[in-house]
Amino acid sequence: MFIKIDKLSDMTMTRQIYSVIKDSILRGDFVGNQKLPSTRVLSLELDVSRIVAVDAYEQLLAEGYVYSIEGAGTYVNEGVLLESEYIPNSEMPDTRQLLYEEEQNHYNFRTGVPDLRYVPIEDWTKLYKQTVRTLDFGMFDYHNPMGYYPLRNAIVDYAKRWRGIQADSRQIVIINGAAQGFSLLRAFVEKESYILIENPVSTGIITTLNQFGAQIKSINVDENGMITSELPEQAPRLIFTTPSHQFPTGGVMPVNRRIELIGYAKRHDCYIVEDDYDSEFRYEGEPIQALQGLEPSRVIYLGTFSKTLCPAIRLGFMIVPRELIKTIEEVKYNSDIHTSLFEQATMASFISQGYYEKHIRKMKKLYDGKRRMIIQEIQKHFGNKIVITGHKSGLHLILDFSEVIDRYDLKKAMKSACVNMQFLDAYCFPRETCIGEVKLVMGFGNVTESQIVDGLEKLSDEIKRYKTGEA
C-alpha cells in the first residue's frame, strides 16, 4: 500500500492515512472483502506510531468502509465503490464570482445599494460587543421564530412614528432581509391562485415569486403608481405593490387609489403586500405614510435595513395582520427556526439608542446632495432634452433619453464611456410591454460625487460622438 506521510502538514497523520485508504476504497483500488495490512505492519512501513494506524482504521470502521474480524484482521466492506463526479479545486470557478460578479465599469450606477463608505461600522461594532457580552446565557438557546422582543418593540415604535403603522409587537416577524419575507409568503398562495405584481417591478421579486409555482400576472403603473382602475375581475391571492415609491418608476400612490386598492382586497378576500424598501429617503417633505396604516387587516408590510444601512446586515421585518400570525410563525420556524439573535439584539440597541435615526438623517442629506448634483449635471450637458422622473425620494431616478439619442446608440455610448445603467424595460413584466423605450434607471446610492460628475461627462461626450458620426 502506497501512502506518503507529510509530517509537516496541517492535517494529522491519522487523517492522512484515513483519507488515502478511504479514497482508494471508493475508487475501487481495494475490492470488497480484501484484507488490509495489519496496523503493526502499516505503522512500520510508514514509520509512525501504531496508535496512529489504529486510529485511522477505527475511523474507517466507524464510517463503514471496513469491517474487522477479531484475530483475523481488517477487511474492505462490499458495496462502497463510488464513481465520483468530484471537480478538483484547480478546475472550480472562483467562489467570489458565485457571490457577485462585479461589473467591469468605472461608473456603476446600479440600484438598490446604499453608500457603503458610510456604514456606521464603529457604532455597530461597539453595540455588538456590548450587547453580546451582557446577554444572559439563556439567550444563547433557540428562540421565538417571530424574533427578539426588544427589536420588535423598537421597530413598532419607529414605524408608528415615521410610517404611520398600526400594529403591536406581536405582529412583527424578524426576517433575513426582504427576500426571505417574499419567500415566506408562499404559505398564503394556493396552487390554483395567482399573484398580481406591478409592471415594471423589481427583478428580484420576480425571481423569488417564480419559486412559488403560482401564476404571476401584472398590472400597469403610471406617474401615480399602480393603476387601480385596471384591477382584474378575477382576484389574485396576493397583490404586490410599492405605493410610497414605486420601483423603479418612483411614482407615489395617492390616497384615492390606496382606498380603491384596499376596498378591492376586502371585497375579494385577498392581501396586499406593501414593499416599503426605501421610503425613509424622501427629499421633498416628510416620508409618505404607509398603506398599512389605512387598513392593517388587509396589508402585509415589508421593511428592510439593507437600503438604509447595508445589504450585508441581513435583517428586515414583516408586519402581518393578526389572523396571519400563527401561520407566518410556523413558516418562519420551518424556514430557519429564527434569525440570528446577536444581530437582532444589536439592531434593537441601535434603534432604541437613537443611532438608526441619526444615521438616516445623515444619509438623507448625503443622498439629497447626490440627487441635486445629478440633476445639475444632466442640465449642464443636455439642457432640458432629458426628462428626469422619480427623483423626489429613494436612491435612483429615471432618465428619458428619447429626445437625445436612439436606444441602440445609447447602449453603445454607455459601453464606450464605461457607464453602467439599466434600461427601464429590464424591469418590465412581461418584458415586451415597454421594450424599445430609451429610459435609463440611474442608481446613485453607492457612487461618489466625482463618479457622478465624471461618469455623466463621459457619457455626454460619447453620445455626441455617436450623434455626429465620429464613433
What is the full per-residue pLDDT of the chain (471 aa) written as tens digits? 678 888 888 899 999 999 999 999 998 889 899 999 999 999 999 999 999 999 999 999 999 999 999 999 999 999 888 876 654 554 555 545 544 444 456 899 999 999 999 999 999 999 999 999 998 888 889 899 999 999 999 999 999 999 999 999 999 999 999 989 999 998 898 878 899 999 999 988 888 888 777 789 999 999 999 999 999 999 999 999 999 999 999 999 999 999 999 999 999 999 999 999 998 999 988 888 999 999 999 999 999 999 999 999 999 999 999 999 999 999 999 999 999 999 999 999 999 999 999 999 999 999 999 999 999 999 999 999 999 999 999 999 999 999 999 999 999 999 999 999 999 999 999 877 776 789 999 999 999 999 999 999 999 999 999 888 766
User: What is the set of domains in the chain, with CATH numbers?
Assistant: 13-76 (1.10.10.10), 107-114+369-468 (3.90.1150.10), 118-357 (3.40.640.10)
Give residue-wise pLDDT tens across range 311-365. 999 999 999 999 999 999 999 999 999 999 999 999 999 999 999 999 999 999 9
Q: Identify the pLDDT of residue 218.
A: 95
Helix-helix angle 449-468:407-416, to 10 degrees: 130
Q: Is the peptide bond before 430 cis (omega within 30 degrees of 0)?
A: yes
CA dihedral 195, 113, 174, 206 (to 10 degrees): 20
Give the closest residue to 80 by CA, choosing from 64, 60, 101. Answer: 64
Q: Identify the pLDDT of residue 98.
A: 46
What is the three-class DSSP state of 96?
helix
Task: Assess contact for 395 and 444: CB atoms under 8 A.
Answer: yes
Longest C-alpha distance within the chain, in Å? 94
Q: Identify the pLDDT of residue 471.
A: 61
Neighbouring-strand partners of residue 274:
241, 301
Q: Identify the pLDDT of residue 86.
A: 57
What does each C-alpha distance from 25 to 51, 58, 183, 200, 239 come to in angstroms? 22, 15, 43, 56, 56
Q: Identify the pLDDT of residue 304.
A: 94
Q: Identify the pLDDT of residue 101.
A: 45
Q: Identify the pLDDT of residue 84.
A: 65
Q: Identify the pLDDT of residue 102.
A: 47
Which element (helix H / strand E) includes 61? Answer: helix 50-62
CA angle 306, 308, 311 (to 5 degrees): 20
Q: Identify the pLDDT of residue 441.
A: 97
Distance CA 71, CA 64 (A): 19
Q: Identify the pLDDT of residue 464.
A: 93
Distance CA 45, CA 21 (A): 14
